[in-house]
Amino acid sequence: MKLINARPSPFGRKVAVALLEKGVPFETMWDEPWGPDTCVGAHNPLAQLPILITDEGEELFESSYILEWIERRYADPPLLPDDDEGILEAKQYMVVAEGVLDAWISASMELRRNPPSEAWMVRQRHKVAAGTKWLAARIGDREFAVRGTLSQADIAIVANLALLSFAYGRGGRVEEEHWRDRLPTLARYVDRLDSRPSFQATRPQMMGSGMTDALR
């Protein structure tokens, strides 16, 4: 199995963590979907990463769909609860985590304009602040977000918030006050999970500049 991924994509990181947690063997191929030599268009009509190519040659794309495919093909260990309420709870966490990242990306793109729209920046910053506050309030001091075990919710939250911290440490100052400084309990939760081998093996790395809409 081959995972075509980009540095430091949180979307590809979610897929890689899920595969590692389930013990599914795969190799990683790094690509820049905005570069002249990219292979992305040959495997995904939307020209986005990550892409998972199965041993049978099936081409899977869009990280949420790939996670669903992995869960249905490789049931053990489960990364979603086995009941509707638990699944819905996990999915809600994932929606908020993705919304925080989307708002952060939108604000980052806006900052490239001269001048950026202040009204737009206020709206996106509010989403980041409110979304992380929502996550912190509901997770509290628990080790995992849902049912006391690692799930896709935890993977999404950690991958997305770690990307914000990675960018913040390199000058990507979208937030007026970084989420780690505002929400120390949430920071401890992320740090605990980020120390797992699957997360350590998939830490964000620098890549060339490009369009963030090529990652999903």
Strand partners, 27: 2
**In this predicted structure, what is the pLDDT of residue 210?**
44
- Within the chain, which residue ranges are assigned CATH 1.20.1050.10? 84-200
Residue 105 in tokens = 């990306």
pLDDT digits (tens, 9 = 90+) for 80-104: 999 999 999 999 999 999 999 999 9
Q: Give how far Cα 184 sits from Cα of 28, 131, 140, 159, Å.
A: 33, 15, 10, 17
CATH code given to domain 84-200 = 1.20.1050.10
Most confident by average pLDDT, 14-18, 38-42, 211-215: 14-18
**In this predicted structure, what is the pLDDT of residue 206?**
62
Residue 158 in tokens = 């950690």
Question: Is 28 strand, coil or helix?
Answer: strand
Residues 6+ apart with CB under 8 A from 195: none
CATH topology of domain 2-77: Glutaredoxin (3.40.30)
- Within the chain, which residue ranges are assigned CATH 3.40.30.10? 2-77
- CA–CA separation, 167 vs 54, rounded Å? 31
Q: How many residues does the chain have?
A: 216
Q: Give how far Cα 153 sits from Cα of 30, 88, 129, Å.
A: 25, 10, 19
